[in-house]
Amino acid sequence: MSLYQTLYFMSLVGGTAGLLSWVLTALVSAVVPGQAVWMADLIATTILGGFIGAFTVAFSDRWSGNRVVTRWVVSGALIGITAGLIAGLVQIPITTRLGATAPVLTRLVAWMLAGSFIGTGLGLRWAQVNRARVAHAAAGGLIGGLLGGMVFVGLGPVIPDLSQALGFVSVGVGICFGVTVAPILLRDGILQFVSSGDPRAQGKFGRTHKEWEIQQGDSYVIGSQNQDFSVSRYRPDIDIFIPDAAIAARHAILFGKEGRFYLARHPSSTDQAALARFPLRVRGKTVVTSLELRDSDDVMVGRTALKFVTKKES
């Protein structure tokens, strides 16, 4: 899946999560009458966070080519719920102070806060790849929340029901778009799938020519380990999963440092047997420890051919 496809589908994931959030929020408000205004907002942000958190994890893992782990989906939902809860609580004093004097601004701030906090929760998943991702996700969520809020505020008085549903959908799209687009816009390089001798990898990525965006400070683990064997609670152990029999469970590490990119063997696959069984080549040279990557380098991982593209001068 190309970067733009990822962006498109992740936005749809957000939109779907937003629509379902709207349905559940409306049902809850119908079932629980007499709730205070702040409680209605708290319920809405919590539900929105839960859906977006769960959906984002489920679909991003699905498209990574690896298995969707229920534990991570639940963790994603819980983190989204927590983020939504915090957003709902933070906006209470703002609403109390500004709600009467600047209603439009207060609504926009409320949506932005919801987007930002939920975005931050989602960004935590990639904190180990690059800590800046958390800030990017927060900023992306903030802008997404602003867009959703503008739709809601702009259409609110015009079309009942539709305006709010559209607001939820927009904020979901905005958050997921914002969270996904930040690393794409800020990318310094791309690792692109070319072809693979393993039919599974070829079947998964051959048609879409899957791309992974890479930016300075990132540290990706390349491997073939099935996520069933992962022990973490929220993030995948393998960032670039390629289902190739000639790729070790944890095969290599791709990282950017001081303006350059490097490909190194993963410490768990540096013994002689692993060197022989799990090939790792750049420009035809076997990588024993690590090697710097340059623009348009051909990378051979197992029986899978990848292409590294960067605008950075080596």
**What count of other Cβ atoms lies within 10 Å of the Cβ of residue 223?**
28
Please choose, out of 49-57, 184-192, 268-276, 287-295, the segment that lies near another protein by the rule CB under 8 A: 268-276
Which tokens sit at 25? 């929020």
The residue length of the chain stands at: 314
Please choose, out of 14-22, 132-140, 279-287, 306-314, the segment that lies near another protein by the rule CB under 8 A: 14-22
Interface residue with another protein, options 3, 81, 86, 110 (CB under 8 A): 110
Indicate the residue among 138 and 169 with the shorter CB distance to another protein: 169
CA-to-CA separations, 268 to 20, 33, 254, in angstroms, rounded: 43, 58, 15
Q: Tell the smallest beta-carbon distance from residue 131 to another protein (Å).
A: 28
Indicate the residue among 42 and 132 with the shorter CB distance to another protein: 42
Indicate the residue among 100 and 289 with the shorter CB distance to another protein: 100
Please choose, out of 131-139, 181-189, 265-273, 304-312, the segment that lies near another protein by the rule CB under 8 A: 265-273
Strands 240-241 and 252-257: unpaired
- Contact 165/19 with Cβ under 8 angstroms? yes
- Whether the CA torsion 312, 218, 265, 301 is positive or negative: it is negative
Interface residue with another protein, options 71, 235, 260, 277 (CB under 8 A): 277
Give the DSSP per-residue string, 168-194.
Answer: HHHHHHHHHHHHHHHHHHT-SEEEEEE
Indicate the residue among 229 and 232 with the shorter CB distance to another protein: 229
Interface residue with another protein, options 3, 6, 10, 16 (CB under 8 A): 16
Residues 174-193 close enough to bind another protein by CB under 8 A: none
| By the rule CB under 8 A, 279 interacts with another protein | no
Query: Alpha helices, DSSP H only, in the chain?
Result: 3-31, 37-63, 70-98, 103-123, 132-155, 162-185, 199-205, 272-277
| By the rule CB under 8 A, 74 interacts with another protein | no
